[in-house]
Structure 1
């Protein structure tokens, strides 16, 4: 039976995501963060690094495709742990911006060092060019889907991430 090529890609992406989470779980070991907290910390730190800007909970939720409430709970936990902080938002009175603290930056740095070591260990069996090409293709596909969702009126298609 012929299937649209996007359908098996979804299956393969889910399988790959599961494998990557298990392989890279050691990078996060001992940091005390769950998956959603790790993703929110990544979003906050990477936005600060790449754009020197802070993000709102809603922006992070949209860029990750998650419910705002899930991201809010993770952000609250990270704030309580002293890893991120609220920054006044000149564009909105109630939607605070989230920025990393020195402790959050340091934790992310330690996690990244461990993740880089895990990636380097995997790379002898992986072709670096293929990995880079796959990353670019997936990024382009994600952006096309988000653009489609925006035109269809789906707010989760709004991409404020990379």
Structure 2
């Protein structure tokens, strides 16, 4: 019989897959892909370079560059000059991009509240705390192994 840690990892992967599928459906309802939604989200607080966005999302710079270019073509984002690095412009949301992000985020929040209404708030908080501890340990492992 697998140990509880192995089962937890399997459950996390299963939940991640289900949440990714749900995210794709939610984004599609607003005319986005989940990748576009994620890049809009990481660029929402302040303009960010593509490499910075890729690091925050844990994906390749090339993937983010392709998505960023799509967002610019759709006029949801724009490149602006970067005084710190002339060759690496910053991606900033346009007003249209901010509206799109607001709509998809509100849709997701409504859906999450409905889906998880039967789970008590204290259980959600405890689960979040456990996941945050797991992520801290994963970060520590990556730092020790030189992967981060």
Gaps spanning 5+ residues in structure 2: where? none
Q: Which residue of 2 aligns with 1:79?
A: 72
Counterparts of 2:136 and 2:48, CA distance in 1: 19
CA contact (8 A) 1:79 1:85 kept: yes
How many residues are aligned here? 148
Of the candidates 63, 67, 88, which is equivalent to residue 81 of structure 2?
88
Counterparts of 2:79 and 2:129, CA distance in 1: 32
Q: Deviations over 1:123-154 (max 9, x none)?
A: 32112222223223323432442343244332
Superposed displacement of residue 25, structure 1: 4.2
| Distance of aligned partners of 1:101 and 1:136 in 2 relative to their CA distance in 1, 3 Å threshold | farther
TM-score (norm 1): 0.78
Q: Deviations over 1:79-133 (max 9, x none)?
A: 1111112122222111111121111110111112211211121232112222223
- Tell whether 2:104 aligns with 1:111: yes
TM-score (norm 2): 0.84
Q: Which residue of 1 aligns with 2:51?
A: 58
| Distance of aligned partners of 1:35 and 1:25 in 2 relative to their CA distance in 1, 3 Å threshold | closer
Tell me which of the two structures has the higher relative contact order, counting C-alpha pairs closer than 8 angstroms and 6 or more residues apart. Answer: 1
| Distance of aligned partners of 1:146 and 1:56 in 2 relative to their CA distance in 1, 3 Å threshold | farther
Superposed displacement of residue 22, structure 1: 3.3
- Tell whether 2:43 aligns with 1:44: yes
3-state SS of 2:79 partner: strand
